[in-house]
Amino acid sequence: MHEAILYKKLENNKVQCTACKQYCFIAPNNTGTCGIRQNKDGKLYLLVYGKAVSANADPIEKKPLYHFMPSTEIFSIGTVGCNFSCGFCQNWDTSQITKDLKNKLLKEKKIANIDAEIGKFGYELLPEKIVEICIEKNIPSIAYTYNEPSIFLEYAYDTAKLANKKGIKNVFVTNGYESEEALNLLKPYLNAMNIDLKSFNDDFYKKICKARLQPVLDTIKLAHKLGIWIEITTLVIPGKNDSDEELKKITDFISTVDKNIPWHVTAFHPDYKMTDVPSTTYETLNKAFTIGKKSGLKYLYVGNILDEEHSNTSCPNCNTLLIKRSGYSVNIENFENGTCKKCNEKIPGVWK
């Protein structure tokens, strides 16, 4: 166990976690929504510090990030647990397992034992080792991903600080529920975020994710204000968030924050509790792409489906092809130091 950084001590040994926007009030021995932050004797502890369940070297484009150090590797780590309960989660076997375990222990009146049970998941991968691996393998950035990184904040924060000292960049792949306290704490060390904007309907968030829309919108605006590079991803789910009206609300919102924010519109494939929902069609993704263009977005990308035409980066000024993508194969053309070689247009992003 590792004592948390962001929490408040309350009366009767209760605490409030302030790492994410669930802002859980946690009674002694219990955990927050995520299942990995436990109140022990009036102190909040992270139960998965240094315990990764997934760790891989990935193409940066897989996150997806298209305007952040293209064609490089990124070392990706994640733990068990999540502060959302999305019915379509692709990593549900690790992200949701803590909720099932917590419910089981509550029924058995053994919730105090959750620290020992959570400790059985994953393997030791301390911050120092993560940075050491990146240096040895010449990997220039680290992604905190697979599950929601704000819930393992202390693990990510300590790793990010060490990485920053060695010139290694840090990325959150996130549902956008970081608290303002967490973002301000991370700001000196966090270089980029890919933020899921899952819907523009609060009922979608409440029913399908067990969360709310507005906190995500607030995170997007604050991250942009803090100068963290952001890209936004929307998984388009047939019959759930794919109406013209909703897609326009999403793209209009992004446009009001910054028309230069890349928007990744990606295909849903049946999984977890939504196996009865069909996969997203190419026509639907192309519709979303067109709506985004009409909203003024300059950089739109289609993912989770074979579509090379809508995976490339072109200059918004002269339409010259700058970065050609085929799957995770990347070819940089007519582009150097963030500038179009043909017309000298500056392309927003982090390019080195």
> Would you state the pLDDT for residue 213?
98
- Give percent above pLDDT 70 in the chain: 100
Question: pLDDT tens for residues 4-54?
Answer: 999 999 999 999 999 999 999 999 999 999 999 999 999 999 999 999 999
Q: CA-CA-CA-CA torsion for 316, 317, 321, 327, nearest 10 degrees? A: -10
Whole-number Å distance between alpha carbons of 155 and 163: 12
> Would you state the pLDDT for residue 50?
97
308 pLDDT higher than 80:
no
Question: pLDDT tens for residues 193-223?
Answer: 999 999 999 999 999 999 999 999 999 999 9
Sorting pLDDT into bands at 50, 70 and 90, what band is 68? Answer: very high
Selection from 338, 335, 349, 337 nearest residue 301 by Cα? 349
The DSSP secondary structure of 168-221, one letter per residue, reads -EEEEEE-S-B-HHHHHHHTTT--EEEEE---S-HHHIIIIISS-SHHHHHHHH
351 pLDDT higher than 80:
yes
Sorting pLDDT into bands at 50, 70 and 90, what band is 1? Answer: confident
244 pLDDT higher than 90:
yes
Lowest-pLDDT range of 138-147, 221-230, 306-315: 306-315
pTM value > 0.75: yes
Whole-number Å distance between alpha carbons of 22 and 210: 10
254 pLDDT higher than 90:
yes
One-letter amino acid at 333 equals: E
β-sheet bridge partners, residue 230:
193
Close Cβ partners of 294 (under 8 Å, ≥ 6 residues apart): 248, 251
- Give percent above pLDDT 90 in the chain: 96
Domains and CATH numbers, the chain: 51-84+123-340 (3.20.20.70)
| 54 within 8 A of 65, measured Cβ to Cβ | no
What is the arithmetic mean of pLDDT over 293-301? 97
Selection from 46, 50, 21 nearest residue 31 by Cα? 46
286 pLDDT higher than 80:
yes
Question: pLDDT tens for residues 95-110?
Answer: 999 999 999 999 999 9
> Would you state the pLDDT for residue 327?
84
What is the arithmetic mean of pLDDT over 286-307? 94
Selection from 160, 248, 163 nearest residue 201 by Cα? 248
Question: pLDDT tens for residues 122-160?
Answer: 999 999 999 999 999 999 999 999 999 999 999 999 999
> Would you state the pLDDT for residue 238?
97
Whole-number Å distance between alpha carbons of 350 and 193: 12
> Would you state the pLDDT for residue 96?
96
3-state class of 94 per DSSP? Answer: helix
What is the arithmetic mean of pLDDT over 212-236? 98
307 pLDDT higher than 90:
no
> Would you state the pLDDT for residue 305?
84
Q: Which one-letter DSSP state was computed for residue 111?
A: G
> Would you state the pLDDT for residue 204?
98
Sorting pLDDT into bands at 50, 70 and 90, what band is 304? Answer: confident
Buried b (16+ CB within 10 A) or exposed e, 262-294: bbbbbbbbeeeebeebeebeeebbbbbbebbee
For the chain, the average pLDDT equals 96
234 pLDDT higher than 80:
yes
Quick one: how far is CA 2 from the chain centroid?
A: 23
